[in-house]
Amino acid sequence: MATDRDLLVSIARGSDAAARELWARHAGRLRAFLLALAPGGPVDADDVVQQTFCRILETSVARLRDVEDGAAWLFQVARNIAFNERRAGKRERERLGKRSRSRGAGDSAPGGAIAGSRDTYDATAHDAALHAALRSLMPDMRDVVLLKHVGGLTFEQIALATQTNRNTAASRYRAAMGLLERALRKQAAPESTTIAVAPASDRRGATPATEVSHG
């Protein structure tokens, strides 16, 4: 079976069959990673995946031969494109925000349209809590978690995709998972207290709130 690097080289040489094979292997994971990276945000996951595969054709065969891991290379390219898209989107939102403010409070269509786009992400309460916790992480930590759990990459591949080393990738992952666990417990605490407190007339034999555990 051809390796991902072999397929990259073949695509650069014009092989449609290699493009189909590499797409089947990685397009779905790339899209899932990009959606998790910015749920409902300014990044168009499908467009970034397309751009990532187009980048193969823009890269020389000699350079692709030097790629250590094809999957890691694809995720690195997609991550970089997404970063540039988010940065450009932020500048555009700031520009539209300034224009909206200059028109006055009564004309808020541009700002409302952008805010509304973030509400199209359909998530359960648990998903919403998880995404909130992920957004609280530093970008480098968040990306490592998503590359591992959504992208399915190993620490060696994550190191290549993020241009670090394996130890750094693993260290960021452990630190991120610890922060996520604490953030999720903190978000769950008010809910635990509310569920445990019973009306005064029903409190005989009730379990104290401090003993309730959802773990």
Domain CATH code at residue 132 = 1.10.10.10
pLDDT of residue 128: 77
Q: Which long-range contacts (CB under 8 A, 24 or more apart) does 187-191 make?
A: 187/129, 187/132, 187/133, 188/129, 188/214
Domains in the chain: how many in total? 2
Structural domain containing residue 186? 124-215
Listed in sequence order, the DSSP H helices in the chain are 4-12, 16-37, 45-57, 61-65, 70-103, 109-117, 125-135, 139-149, 155-161, 166-196
Answer with the one of 87, 122, 157 that is the final residue of a domain: 122
Could you tell me if 114 and 172 lie in one domain?
no
Could you tell me if 172 and 199 lie in one domain?
yes
Could you tell me if 116 and 153 lie in one domain?
no
Whole-angstrom distance, CA of residue 86 vs CA of residue 70: 24
Could you tell me if 114 and 149 lie in one domain?
no
Backbone angles phi, psi at 108, to 5 degrees: -115, 25
pLDDT of residue 28: 96
Answer with the one of 81, 104, 122 that is the final residue of a domain: 122
Burial label for 7, CB within 10 Å (0-12, 13-18, 19+), is: buried
pLDDT of residue 198: 45
Of the given ranges (2-6, 35-39, 71-75, 171-175), which has the lowest mean pLDDT?
A: 35-39
Helix (H) / strand (E) containing 201: none
Could you tell me if 214 and 131 lie in one domain?
yes
Answer with the one of 56, 90, 122 that is the final residue of a domain: 122
Could you tell me if 33 and 111 lie in one domain?
yes
Q: Which amino acid is at 140?
A: D
Q: Is 128 helix (H, G, I), strand (E, B) or coil?
A: helix
Could you tell me if 54 and 4 lie in one domain?
yes
Could you tell me if 105 and 7 lie in one domain?
yes
| pLDDT, mean of residues 76-80 | 96
Whole-angstrom distance, CA of residue 160 vs CA of residue 93: 32
Query: Which CATH number does the domain housing residue 82 bear?
Result: 1.10.1740.10
Could you tell me if 11 and 71 lie in one domain?
yes
pTM of the model: 0.70
Q: Which amino acid is at 136?
A: S
* Nearest Cα to Cα of residue 176 among 165, 184, 187, 188: 184
Whole-angstrom distance, CA of residue 49 vs CA of residue 79: 10
pLDDT of residue 129: 78
Could you tell me if 185 and 139 lie in one domain?
yes
Q: Which amino acid is at 2?
A: A
